[in-house]
Amino acid sequence: MIKFVVLTLFNDMFTSFLNTSIIKRSIEAGKLSVELIDIRDFSGFKNKKVDDTPYGGGNGMVISAEPVAKAIDFALTLIKDLECEIIYMSPRGNLLNYNMCKEFSDGCSNKAYILICGHYEGIDERVLEEYNIKEVSIGDYVLTGGEIAAMVFIDSVTRLVPGIITEGSLIDESHTNKLLEYPQYTKPSVFRGRKVPEVLLSGHDKNITEYRHKKSLELTLKNRPDLLK
Ligand code: ADE
């Protein structure tokens, strides 16, 4: 079982993610747990306000330290004896890649992650220091909030947990061996005049493996030459 506790201002964004496909089935099978905590529940104000203007001036609003800290303290009570890492989804963070996903998924049977989703201009820096929070980015662009990034994190880490998807599916997929995945085809063998490459119909395993490796190399060279360096 891998466990995530998500601190967010927008719980609803997770509804279809948690109720679809592999993520839904993993939750039902008891292999994955995702709990959502609304940071506003820890506001302390009647109107559930959790943000304020930035010290030093500037645009937008900053999420205050206190409600986030209280939400973290509550999340920690849900995690009990599990080893826990607290992660703030942020464009400032370490860029998530396949190796990091693998590390986050390793030893997941006794691990939990608290994922904090920011909004507006981010959260008060002192809460990050107070809890020694790691920052993770999903790409060099800025999202309107951390929720989509948290879903990317949960999805990409969970699928590497043993028993979540067929082990074989992971072997040749993009990024496992620094190469992008070769092209895939299924029936019918002719689509609008385009034939499936002959070698894939040959049943000759060695030739198929060689062909796929060549295609992986070609694709990587074309789309992501940086991976070959
Ligand atoms: N929040 C806003 N932009 C983000 C990004 N690129 N990665 C993670 N969290 C974010």
Q: What is the pLDDT of residue 140?
A: 97
With a 6 A CB cut-off, is 146 part of the ligand 1 pocket? yes
Q: Determine contact, residues 189/201, Cβ cutoff 8 Å.
A: yes
The neighbour count for residue 216, using CB atoms within 10 Å, is: 19
List 228's β-bridge partners, or say none: none
Q: How confident is the model at residue 120 (pLDDT cuts 50, 70, 90)?
A: confident
With a 6 A CB cut-off, is 144 part of the ligand 1 pocket? no
Residues 45-101 have pLDDT tens digits of 999 999 999 999 999 999 999 999 999 999 999 998 899 999 999 999 999 999 999
Fill in the amino acid letter for 66. Answer: E
Q: What is the pLDDT of residue 109?
A: 79
Q: What is the mean pLDDT of residues 154-173?
A: 89
Q: What is the pLDDT of residue 12?
A: 98
Long-range contacts of residues 217-220, Cβ cutoff 8 Å, at least 24 apart: 217/179, 219/179, 219/180, 219/181, 219/182, 219/183, 220/178, 220/179, 220/180
Q: From atom 6 of ligand 1, which residue's Cα is the shortest distance away? A: 91
Angle (nearest 5°) at CA 98 between 211 and 88: 160
Alpha-carbon span 37 to 71, nearest angstrom: 7
Q: What is the mean pLDDT of residues 209-216?
A: 97
Q: From atom 7 of ligand 1, which residue's Cα is the shortest distance away? A: 137
CB hemisphere CA count around 177 (13 angstroms): 9
User: What's the whole-model pTM score?
Assistant: 0.95
Q: How confident is the model at residue 110 (pLDDT cuts 50, 70, 90)?
A: confident
CB hemisphere CA count around 44 (13 angstroms): 10
With a 6 A CB cut-off, is 137 part of the ligand 1 pocket? yes
Q: From atom 2 of ligand 1, which residue's Cα is the shortest distance away? A: 143
The dihedral of CA 167, 173, 179, 181: what is its sign?
A: positive
Q: What is the pLDDT of residue 68?
A: 98
With a 6 A CB cut-off, is 142 part of the ligand 1 pocket? yes
pLDDT at 177 over 90: no
With a 6 A CB cut-off, is 143 part of the ligand 1 pocket? yes
Q: What is the mean pLDDT of residues 155-171?
A: 90
Give the chain's domains with CATH numbers.
2-166 (3.40.1280.10), 172-228 (1.10.1270.20)
Task: Out of 7, 87, 89, give the residue to mutate to test ligand 1, the one with the largest number of ligand atoms within 8 Å of its CB.
Answer: 89
Higher pLDDT, 166 or 199: 199
- Any residues with CB less than 8 A from the CB of 9 and at least 6 apart, and which? 38, 39, 40, 50, 63, 117, 119, 145
CA of 92 relative to ligand 1 center, distance in Å: 8
Q: Determine contact, residues 140/92, Cβ cutoff 8 Å.
A: no
* Tokens linked to 120: 């507006």
CA of 148 relative to ligand 1 center, distance in Å: 8
Q: What is the pLDDT of residue 117?
A: 98
| Of 11-20, 170-179, 216-225, minimum mean pLDDT range | 170-179
With a 6 A CB cut-off, is 94 part of the ligand 1 pocket? no
Q: What is the pLDDT of residue 154?
A: 98
Residues 12-54 have pLDDT tens digits of 999 999 999 999 999 999 999 999 999 999 999 999 999 999 9
